[in-house]
Structure 1
Amino acid sequence: MTLLTVRGLGKSFGGVKAVDGIDFDLKAGELLALIGPNGAGKSTTFNMVNGQLKADRGSIKMNGTELIGLAPRAIWRLGVGRCFQIAETFSSLTVIENVQMALLSHDNQLFSFFKPASSHARDKALELLSQVGMQEQADRPCSELAYSDVKRVELAIALANEPKLLLMDEPTAGMAPKERNDMMAMTKRLVIERGIAVLFTEHSMDVVFAYADRISVLARGRLIAHGTPDSIREDRNVQEVYFGGGSTFALNPSKAVEVSQ
């Protein structure tokens, strides 16, 4: 079932077309990778989907509901979650308190004066932490965690809203190869179990080709290719964009390296 439908999406900054009329669909239970060189329009696309930027033209519909013009919080309430390139957690709170804060917001109890936040939905918070492999560290301050574990906590926070669509901006940035694979294998499992649609950007091509069901490639704001990992690997336009100059990426997942020219 198609969950997200994007048509003719465009955004300009002055005379620069950051995103220039792109189309794509995303199904429930599917991981779609949005890749491209720096400045291709990936972050701008993300920011339009979750309402941080308003599109100049086009349409973004989730289950038939138009998202353009809605505030980020309204889009979040519709079931759009996001994990950022730089993980967003409260470092002064414990792991479980971070998840409980998200559950308080989801349950519309953020300003209750009759119940301490630390007692809210603890069992549900522990269940979410168990799903991302962080239950044993529930009572540790986030400030003491390794960065890869902070990213796991951020994923649990995003899942607290029971999202239908999850936007993941470079989910494995700053991780070692094993940590990258562990993170994406866990994400793939949760996507299948929960039927979540995931739109993600990623600079590590090993992650993209190993875990994406489909790949969309942007260059200078335009969609130049869209398809399965195998078809993208063989696409001549994609090879030209990545190997023609500037910052490029190996498209062979067995090599899985980022290279610069």
Structure 2
Amino acid sequence: MSLLEVRNLSKKFGGNLAVDDISFDLHQGELLALIGPNGAGKTTTFNMVNGQLNATAGSVRLQGTELIGLAPRKIAHMGVGRTFQIAATFASLTVVENVQMALLSHYRKVYSFLSVAADQYRDEAVALLEQVGMQSQADRPCSELAYGDVKRVELAMGLANNPKLLLMDEPTAGMAPKERNELMALTKKLVVERNMAVLFTEHSMDVVFAYADRMIVLARGKLIAEGDANHIRNHPKVQEVYFGTGKTFEKNQSTQATT
């Protein structure tokens, strides 16, 4: 059985069918990219899986349990982590305190004073920072970090609930090429080591083709292609949607497709 099963998923906004009857699976230990041109329905699909949007029709199951209709917090406690296009960290807190706050949320602990919260789960937070290469900067304020390092901290926060599935919304947005590749190489390593699954949206085609195990391509709300890099690179509908006829991904590996 697949870890995540999406079946006949649709979403209407008024008379507009933003996502039109799409189905796909995601397995443990797999890095799956959700790509498509502007207005394809990527973000809408992503947010239905996460519980931020209610589906008009269809099913999203995590290890056989239906997620449609559940609140995002409930879905998170079932083992679904999330990172955001704009890094969601607290700039006034230290690196380790940010991860501690994520752990407090996971364990459903609430503290009125940060001085009390600061004593909780520090060792576990440091261990997560070690996994993303940020242990040495644990006590630095997040406000002092380079943006690539902030994204690593956010990744550690996303791992705080020991996710079976991690959702990453344009994880490399705003990053330089070297930082993009380092972050996705790290993500790939964590997928293997933790045997978890990652579903990510991404606008940098170089990152997608270098690191995704499989890709699903949306256009105007419909799933038009699914497969590995070679299949997607040579798929005529994908080439037409991104570039028009007569062009290929081999000539356009760095092309940017906006969400």
Query: How many angstroms apart in 1 are the aligned matches of 2:92 and 2:239?
Result: 45
- Which residue of structure 1 aligns with residue 143 of structure 2? 143
Aligned residues: 257
User: 1:258: Cα distance to partner?
Assistant: 3.0
Q: TM-score, normalised by structure 1?
A: 0.94
Query: How many angstroms apart in 1 are the aligned matches of 2:11 and 2:249?
Result: 28
User: 1:124: Cα distance to partner?
Assistant: 1.0
- Which residue of structure 2 aligns with residue 215 of structure 1? 215
> What secondary structure sits across from 2:153 in the alignment?
helix
> What secondary structure sits across from 1:252 in the alignment?
helix
Query: How many angstroms apart in 2 are the aligned matches of 1:85 and 1:60?
Result: 22
Residue 76 of structure 1 aligns to which amino acid in structure 2? A
Match status 1:80 vs 2:83: no
C-alpha contact (below 8 Å) 2:126/2:138 kept by paired residues:
yes
Match status 1:189 vs 2:189: yes
Query: How many angstroms apart in 1 are the aligned matches of 2:125 and 2:255?
Result: 37
User: 1:143: Cα distance to partner?
Assistant: 1.1
Cα 1:259–1:187 change in 2 (3 A) is closer
C-alpha contact (below 8 Å) 2:37/2:257 kept by paired residues:
no
> What secondary structure sits across from 1:119 in the alignment?
coil
Match status 1:55 vs 2:55: yes
> What secondary structure sits across from 1:191 in the alignment?
helix
Q: TM-score, normalised by structure 2?
A: 0.95
User: 1:110: Cα distance to partner?
Assistant: 2.1
Query: How many angstroms apart in 2 are the aligned matches of 1:77 and 1:258?
Result: 34
| 1:49-92 Cα deviation digits (max 9, x unpaired) | 11110000000000000000101110001011111001101111
User: 1:185: Cα distance to partner?
Assistant: 0.4
Provide structure 2 residue ranges, at least 5 long, that are not aligned to the other structure. Answer: none
Alignment of 1:147-158 (within 5 A): 147-158=147-158
C-alpha contact (below 8 Å) 2:205/2:257 kept by paired residues:
no
Match status 1:257 vs 2:242: no
- Which residue of structure 2 aligns with residue 21 of structure 1? 21
Query: How many angstroms apart in 1 are the aligned matches of 2:25 and 2:75?
Result: 18
RMSD: 2.0
| 1:141-190 Cα deviation digits (max 9, x unpaired) | 11111111111000000101101001101111111111111000000000
- Which residue of structure 2 aligns with residue 200 of structure 1? 200
Cα 1:259–1:97 change in 2 (3 A) is closer
Provide structure 1 residue ranges, at least 5 long, that are not aligned to the other structure. Answer: none
